């Protein structure tokens, strides 16, 4: 026998498109490999009864797992051993009732041994069996419970919530990468504010992000919560920057390294944090400063961050509107024109590279962006004048 299992069954009953499909079967791993062939299967978890079947492109990879019960968990993630069993027994080892159902596509029927259909109807996230036992087996389930509750707009079962609250400190045994993966899913979902509120309520936020944990302060009425709610389809760096907006760049970088974010995600988040308030004074900025910032590849995210921040503060949106009008009326070749000269041009003019060399180029670029010079000849003349000014390096 073979059934669809887990999240895809939940999504089917909710009328949602499943992101992926898992299959649970009575076939042993070696039988699955024999059936689909060695070239179409990957034995990534064969010792745990799991085989990846490589389907056609539209289907992608499908995880096929033999019905099993798990032995003792010693690392807060994986069992030390497994034993093959019946579907009823397999359902008991799964995390939450709404994820513990099977679907028989041949007979078009749901097999529910854990009360998943009833909890779906009531909108409840409930651990299967003893909540503490389920969380002990895999500590990441504590974050997953919060994510499912928030993203599905459900309620967290009180007994499950109590178990998480009492065990929240144990989340530290979970790898940073797995925690970051859950944060990604929470912050990219439209219900990101509620996810963070729930993390705070059950004590997980002070473990994952103690720097932003607000203790008894209600997230729902705080500025950070409002900013998260106002975001519409953000990237992870933008949502993360909204969450961390009250922290310094140095602290944000420490958090990113602790969570082992990619260099791109960390740099983008840190840049947004560093620049988040600069454009508040956009109408008073020099053309050069304004153009430099609005020509940045992530300027749209910066404007979005400032917009939601001003809205959360119930402040005037004039700085954002000013920038948007400036962009609409400024052609790309005016916003970010090619530099008039390069370092090689300065060297050919006899200027010696030194501590001031880079500053010279930046001052020349500012003059260009301000519209004060428009030709290479004017740029070189300015370079010589700056080089000859008091305190400048001599060639």
Q: Which tens digit of pLDDT belongs to each residue from 172-194?
A: 999 999 999 999 999 999 999 99
Does residue 213 carry a pLDDT above 80? Answer: no
DSSP E strands in 11-60: the ranges are 22-25, 41-45, 50-54
Which CATH class for the 1-122 domain?
alpha beta
Per-residue pLDDT, averaged over 263-287, amounts to: 98
Does residue 71 carry a pLDDT above 70? Answer: no
221 pLDDT band, cuts 50/70/90, is low
pLDDT value at residue 322 = 98
> 249-258 vs 263-275: helix axis angle to the nearest 10?
160
pLDDT tens-digit series, residues 188-212:
999 999 999 999 999 999 999 999 9
CA distances for 363 relative to 54, 295, 373, angstroms: 57, 17, 11
Instruction: Give this prediction's pTM.
Output: 0.89
SS3 240: helix
The residues of the chain that CATH labels 3.30.460.10 are: 1-122
76 pLDDT band, cuts 50/70/90, is low
Where is average pLDDT lowest: 50-54, 258-262, 323-327?
A: 50-54
Does residue 391 carry a pLDDT above 70? Answer: no
**CA angle (114 as vertex; 109, 117 as ends), nearest 5:** 55
């Amino acid at each position: 026998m073979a059934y669809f299992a887990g999240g895809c069954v939940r999504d089917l009953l909710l009328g949602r498109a499943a992101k992926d499909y898992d299959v649970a079967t009575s076939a042993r791993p070696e039988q699955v490999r024999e059936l689909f062939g060695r070239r179409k299967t990957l034995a990534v978890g064969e010792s745990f009864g799991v085989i990846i079947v490589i389907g056609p492109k539209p289907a992608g990879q499908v995880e096929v797992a033999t019905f099993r019960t798990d032995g003792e968990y010693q690392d807060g993630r994986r069992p030390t051993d497994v034993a093959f069993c019946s579907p009823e027994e397999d359902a008991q080892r799964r995390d939450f009732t709404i994820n513990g159902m099977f679907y028989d596509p041949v007979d078009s029927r749901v097999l529910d041994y854990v009360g998943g259909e009833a909890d779906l109807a009531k909108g409840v996230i409930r651990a299967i069996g003893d909540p503490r036992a389920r969380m002990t087996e895999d500590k990441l389930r504590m974050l997953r419970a919060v994510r499912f509750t928030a993203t599905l707009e459900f309620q967290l079962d009180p007994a499950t919530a109590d178990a998480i609250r009492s065990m929240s400190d144990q989340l530290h045994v979970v790898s940073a990468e797995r925690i970051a993966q859950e944060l990604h899913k929470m912050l990219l979902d439209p219900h990101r504010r509620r996810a963070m509120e729930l993390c705070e309520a059950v004590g997980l936020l002070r473990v994952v992000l103690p720097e932003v944990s607000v203790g008894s302060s209600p997230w729902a009425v705080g500025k950070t919560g409002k900013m998260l709610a106002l975001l519409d389809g953000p990237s992870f760096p933008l949502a993360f920057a909204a969450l961390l907006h009250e922290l310094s760049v140095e602290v944000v970088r420490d958090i990113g390294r602790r969570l082992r974010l990619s260099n791109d995600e960390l740099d983008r988040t840190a840049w947004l944090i560093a620049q988040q308030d600069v454009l508040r004074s956009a109408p008073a900025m020099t053309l050069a400063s304004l153009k430099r910032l609005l020509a940045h590849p992530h300027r749209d995210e910066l404007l979005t961050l400032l917009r939601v921040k001003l809205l959360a503060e119930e402040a005037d949106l004039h700085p954002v509107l000013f920038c948007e009008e400036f962009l609409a009326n400024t052609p790309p070749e005016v916003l970010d024109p090619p530099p008039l000269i390069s370092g090689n041009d300065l060297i050919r003019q006899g200027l010696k590279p030194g501590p001031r060399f880079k500053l010279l180029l930046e001052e020349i670029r500012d003059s260009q962006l301000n519209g004060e010079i428009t030709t290479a000849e004017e740029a070189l003349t300015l370079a010589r004048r700056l080089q000859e000014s008091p305190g400048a390096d001599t060639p």
